[in-house]
Amino acid sequence: MKNKWIKILPLLLILGFTGSCKMEFENHNAASEAAVYKTYKAYPGIVLGLTKHFSLNALPEIARGPGVVSREIGATNTYTTENELMSGNIPNDNASISRLWRFLHYERGIAEKITANIDDVTFPTDAEKAGLKAYGYLMRGLTTGYLGMYWEKATVENDPDNKAEFKNNTEVLNTAIAYLDEAENLISGTAGSADYINNLVSGNSGLFSIVDVIHALKARYYIELGDYGNAISEANAVDLTKPSVWIYDGSSTDQNPIWKLQYDAGASERYKALENLGVNLEANDGRLDFYTNGQTGISTETCGNVYTNTLYLKGFWMNPTDAIPVYLPDEMKLIKAEAYAKQGGANLAQAVALIDEVRTDNADIFGVNANLGIWTGNGSDQQAVLDQIYYNYATELFFQGLRWNAHKRIYPDYLDGVTPPVDCNAERTRNYFPYPSDEQANNPNTPSDPAI
């Protein structure tokens, strides 16, 4: 990402805003901001800054909060934030959910300004303009999608007057898909736009494919919505040989954020994987060795359980320059497997075939290889097939903010009748996050918190 546009990144300090409500301070840079959006030379820097803000700020919170409530990780020592997440008794000022909410809205605000202003600017080529605008819609879809996955209701666009309206998460996810459709249409309608934005975002490394990211996110959101046909179609459209990642150059301001918390000099070693990745792990499942390094630590939980065999993280978080995937290829296979399995009947055979592809994988482009034999369970038992799909979601996509929602989809009634604090042995401790206290205080449209 080091290129001639990097000097534009400080402009992010004056662009966008920190939540669905307005900033808590007067923006004395309004004129400067307006001028920035009137020059084509600013847009590459804005896009790079938006990308970097997401990958350094929202991304670790996407791993942390959902990772704790779905029993992927435990907190070393007695950190209040994680202990609240572990019990499911989460206050509205919990630091993790407050940061995640704030960052996703901030980043969406930048993306909204890109798509709102770029048509008024003349660019040297149509490919540049379309690629940058498409990326703005991509980031609107990405940020809105995460809000729809983790909150029962959420906003679909920011409001500078503190009055953003909340929609149920079905509407939120459908809106996220609509943003992605806009991105797809721009890319498909303008020759060269995909190459331009891919090279910009990846620093000419070839490690980003906007077309595949769009399809992967749409597949993810369609399976959330229970739209199985579209989930399969979008997953099939992803080229599984092309990686798309968030990159870090290792400089003091651009380091892998999970590595920084785990291994940097003076790091708190804040996160540990629960024993066997928090599931009933099969013997010789290669994903354990990929995601952890075998060293054990100690993690305590607020309701009394002490885990003595927790593991240090490895995976995508061992070095300051380690890239973090936007999605994994086998996520697409598991989405298709789930879609087929949920339809039952003759579709179960197709689900089992996809399960076996994931289990026997030994050539994953990121090295996430289970190296197991084919599944020997009852392929005609729908719930048994879904159980096996969940097992592979939990192990294949470890600590990427996705296990929680997979559990909610496959075991929707798991917390029926339960009120927090939740038993420490529970597989998940929440259905949705509560709304951050800042949002409650500033936005009169904020809904009541979900029961759990």
pLDDT tens digits for range 174-216 = 999 999 999 999 999 999 999 999 999 999 999 999 999 999 9
What's the domain count of the chain?
Answer: 1
Residue 245 pairs in a beta bridge with 325
Position 304 confidence tier, pLDDT thresholds 50, 70, 90: low
Would you give the DSSP letter of residue 119? G
Within-domain flag for 69 = yes
Q: What percent of the chain has pLDDT over 90?
A: 80
Within-domain flag for 127 = yes
Q: Angle at the Cα of 397 (from 263 to 295), degrees rounded to 5?
A: 35
Is pLDDT above 50 for 103?
A: yes
Full residue range of the structural domain in which residue 333 is found: 6-254+322-442
Q: What angle do the packed helices 126-150 and 59-69 form, to 10 degrees? A: 20
How far apart are the C-alpha atoms of 258 and 387, rounded to whole Å? 29
pLDDT of res. 299: 60
Position 12 confidence tier, pLDDT thresholds 50, 70, 90: low
How far apart are the C-alpha atoms of 297 and 315, rounded to whole Å? 17
Whether the Cβ atoms of residue 258 and residue 268 lie closer than 8 Å to each other: no
How far apart are the C-alpha atoms of 348 and 135, rounded to whole Å? 37
pLDDT tens digits for range 108-125 = 999 999 999 999 999 999
Within-domain flag for 24 = yes
Tokens of 141: 């879809």
Within-domain flag for 152 = yes
pLDDT of res. 361: 98
Within-domain flag for 91 = yes
pLDDT tens digits for range 16-42 = 444 454 433 345 555 577 889 999 999
How far apart are the C-alpha atoms of 25 and 38, rounded to whole Å? 24
Within-domain flag for 286 = no
pLDDT of res. 305: 60
Question: Which CATH number does the domain housing residue 238 bear?
Answer: 1.25.40.390
pLDDT of res. 20: 55
